[in-house]
Amino acid sequence: MKAALFHGPHQDLTIEDIDIDKPGPREVLIKVAASGVCHSDLHFVDGLYGYPAPAVLGHEGAGVVEEVGELVTQFAPGDHVISCLSVFCGNCEYCLTGHPSLCQSPDRARAPGAPPKLKKAGTDEMVHQFLNLSTFAEHMLVHENAIVKIRDDMPLDRAALIGCGVMTGVGAALNTAKVEPGTSTVVFGAGGVGLAAIQGCRIAGAGQIIAVDVVESKLGLAKELGATHTVDASEGDPVAKIREITGGGAHYTFEAIGNKDVAEQAFDALRAGGTATVIGMIPIGQKVELNGASFLQEKKIQGCTMGSNRFRVDMPRYVDFYFNGILKLDEMITVRGKLEDVNEAFRAMKAGEVARTVLMFNGAG
Ligand SMILES: [Zn+2]
Ligand SMILES: [Zn+2]
């Protein structure tokens, strides 16, 4: 199969022939239909987070089941599925208390002695799988607890977005922060995840939804997707403007960039008792500094991984939201491309030109 290979930070991905193994007992082979290009992939290409090379990146995908392992009972060839990096075991304390996205179980690894899932074509050279998925490829071989079945009439390019960015943003509002109807909310960063968080706040019934970004076109799209106000952070201190709009600070703020200074702004923009949720990946080693006295006002700050998802439950619901017109996905795809366009997709994302590029495979779209 063809896949986009990562050779290390600051290098373009190259398109290579890769051999993919047959499914192990609890694994599923999927023909990938579409893969979004997510900001987190870029973090690894930029070296802000480390990953062993060579590897096939990509973690926001949807496709059709081609073959299942002997112990897999919940999926059959032909099923349409979305993948999720939050592979869960189903047995640990996190899983059994409703927090499968925090599952730390090593269960997702192959049996000892099993061959690697991915190899360079015709060789024994192992290629690393990325976050148990690797969606920048024509096929992926994943643990059965890394996918969820969805209805067949859902277009798979839009389904792919739910696999990471939409789950993360909408989930941050609904699951992590549990935004209450009528409250004031702020989303810093109107990229793919931020736009999804804006939609999550709208779905939750927030009274005010303030989008903050430095790119005017993104703020325009934010309004289309549910923002009631926009703040251009290039025009001065966004926190002062947020205080003015909300009458003293917001109930909920979301950091959807992965920037330490913005995380601090998200905390500063809260009213007493408010909660800041940091969704973005702040580069390893960076510390966030907060005004200690603010804790006397019961201001809170919390992390968020993949929208605190229970993806087997959440993702089919989000698919229904799409069909009901509550969740807008068509507007979030700026460009549809081919696997070969992956480096261009990273460039466009860095330049702030796109909400999402979706790579289409196997003649999909
Ligand atoms: Zn992602
Ligand atoms: Zn678990």
Predicted confidence (pLDDT) per residue in 48-83, tens digit = 888 999 999 999 999 999 999 999 999 999 999 999
Q: What DSSP state is assigned to residue 73? A: -
Instruction: Check if 95 is active-site.
Output: no
Res 364 pLDDT > 70: no
Q: Which of 43, 80, 143, 229 is catalytic?
A: 43
d(CA 289, CA 286): 10
CB proximity list for 361: less than 8 A, separation 6 or greater: 31, 32, 33, 34, 35, 63, 137, 138, 339
Centre a 10 Å sphere on the Cβ of residue 71 and count the other Cβ atoms it contains. Answer: 11
d(CA 322, CA 330): 9
Contact by Cβ (8 Å): 41, 158: no
Q: Which of 164, 201, 229, 308 is catalytic?
A: 164
Q: How far is the CA of 46 from the centre of ligand 1 (A)?
A: 15
Q: How far is the CA of 97 from the centre of ligand 1 (A)?
A: 25
Res 11 pLDDT > 90: yes
Give the pLDDT band (50/70/90) at residue 353. confident
Instruction: Check if 38 is active-site.
Output: yes
- The pLDDT of residue 37 is 95
- The pLDDT of residue 48 is 85
Q: Cα-Cα-Cα-Cα dihedral of 158, 162, 164, 165, to 10°?
A: 80
Average pLDDT of the chain to the nearest whole number: 95
Instruction: Check if 40 is active-site.
Output: yes
User: Which one of the ligands is nearest to 60 CA?
Assistant: 1
Instruction: Check if 59 is active-site.
Output: yes
Res 295 pLDDT > 90: yes
Q: How far is the CA of 113 from the centre of ligand 1 (A)?
A: 30
Q: How far is the CA of 88 from the centre of ligand 2 (A)?
A: 5
CB proximity list for 189: less than 8 A, separation 6 or greater: 212, 213, 255, 256, 257, 262, 280
Contact by Cβ (8 Å): 187, 254: yes
Instruction: Check if 7 is active-site.
Output: no
- The pLDDT of residue 56 is 97
Read off the pLDDT of each residue in 14-40 and give the average, rounded to a whole number: 95
**Torsional sign, CA 104, 3, 42, 35:** negative
Q: What DSSP state is assigned to residue 182? A: T
Contact by Cβ (8 Å): 182, 228: no
Res 365 pLDDT > 60: no
Q: Which of 59, 80, 139, 143 is catalytic?
A: 59
Res 92 pLDDT > 70: yes
Model confidence pLDDT, tens digit, residues 168-204: 999 999 999 999 999 999 999 999 999 999 999 999 9
User: Which one of the ligands is nearest to 91 CA?
Assistant: 2
Please choose, from the candidates 158, 155, 163, the residue with its C-alpha nearest in 3D space to the C-alpha of residue 134: 163
Q: How far is the CA of 91 from the centre of ligand 2 (A)?
A: 5
Q: How far is the CA of 282 from the centre of ligand 1 (A)?
A: 14
Res 106 pLDDT > 80: no
Mapped onto helix, strand or coil, the DSSP state of residue 76 is coil
Model confidence pLDDT, tens digit, residues 107-120: 777 888 889 999 99
